[in-house]
Amino acid sequence: MQTLAPAQTAAHQLPQIAHPRNAGMPLDLDWVAAVQANTSAIERRTATLPGRRSVKKDHQAAWLCKAISLIDLTTLSGDDTWGRVERLCAKARQPVRPDLLAALGMEGLTTGAVCVYHEMVETAVRALEGSGIPVAAVSTGFPAGLSPLRTRLMEITDSVAAGAQEIDIVISRRHVLTGDWQALYDETRAMRAACGEAHMKAILATGELGTLRNVARASLVCMMAGADFIKTSTGKEGVNATLPVSLVMIRAIRDYEARTGFKVGYKPAGGISKAKDALVYLALMKDELGHPWLQPDLFRFGASSLLGDIERQLEHHVTGRYSAANRHAMG
């Protein structure tokens, strides 16, 4: 099996995981070619999800607190400033008002991570020092992924050196659209090696891959190349996370674990802004993959506004009143 070269590791402690890290495997083109996706069946299955799993009152509050612990709280705007990132990190440390958390018995709750551009990594690392919250950096020519490979690899190395414990890379969509699975595998494998001990989330940009079969094949190839997570979207595409895409990727994860024994994480990103949507995704994960994939080492939401709506729902649960959305700003 091809081995991964070591790279400079972050000076900050990496999140602990309860399972062996995905080491990847040689590219199996026969397996990739055999992958199918029954679009009509997938759409029928996911159309039933919102009505099949309903939780209320204390149970709903507990699931929403779980969702908070799985959020990669994100700011990826061209007008990001150091002050905005510092405020976002303060929100990650204290995602819900202390009095509400006390009423829920959830003191100490934090988000799963904070996700920023490379330029803001050092600021986020300083702001989160001592919290145990990892910093994730988007890299490799985010969001298009069209810069030269050597430049993309240098971005990864620089972000890891700055303290990023997780790297969200973007794949080259053209390799999927042209069926060049060897090129996709080789690039993703090189990026995984550049990450070293930092965990790598491979962003597929599923809204630009054309078909659900392409989504399934790209998911499989990225896992073969050693991705620790597969992620739907950059959040910048016209279509981001959807339930059909999620089902396809989740079942690819299940098949990969059955064949290799390695657990790979999943991150839906983009377009998940309501608490009720988060509950549907959690139900899907529990139905398809089970309890281990309801932990931060195997599941994350890529979101910003989602946290505000969850906090608003929790306040209603505790007080019986809905507050204005502008009272739950991210920073």
Q: pLDDT tens for residues 165-195?
A: 999 999 999 999 999 999 999 999 999 999 9
- % of the chain beyond a pLDDT of 70: 92
12 within a domain of the structure (yes/no)? no
3 state DSSP class of 71: strand
Task: Please give the pLDDT value at position 304.
Answer: 83
8 within a domain of the structure (yes/no)? no
pLDDT above 80: residue 160: yes
pLDDT above 60: residue 7: no
**Residue 223's domain spans which residues?**
29-327
With vertex at residue 127, the alpha carbon angle to CA 297 and CA 167, rounded to the nearest 5 degrees, is 40
Q: pLDDT tens for residues 32-88?
A: 999 999 999 999 999 988 876 678 899 999 999 999 999 999 999 999 999 999 999
Kindly report the CATH number assigned to the domain that includes residue 38. 3.20.20.70
The beta strand positions in the chain, using DSSP E, are 71-74, 113-117, 135-138, 166-170, 199-203, 229-231, 265-267, 301-303
pLDDT above 80: residue 210: yes
35 within a domain of the structure (yes/no)? yes
Task: Please give the pLDDT value at position 1.
Answer: 35
Count the alpha carbons within 13 Å of 171 in the hemisphere toward its beta carbon.
Answer: 40
57 within a domain of the structure (yes/no)? yes
Token representation of residue 314? 């929790």
82 within a domain of the structure (yes/no)? yes
pLDDT above 80: residue 13: no
Helices (H), 70-168: 82-93, 98-104, 121-127, 149-161
Q: Catalytic residues, which ones?
A: 168, 231, 267
pLDDT above 50: residue 118: yes
239 within a domain of the structure (yes/no)? yes
23 within a domain of the structure (yes/no)? no
At 8, the pLDDT band (50, 70, 90 cuts) reads very low
When divided into structural domains, the chain yields a total of 1
d(CA 97, CA 107): 10
318 within a domain of the structure (yes/no)? yes
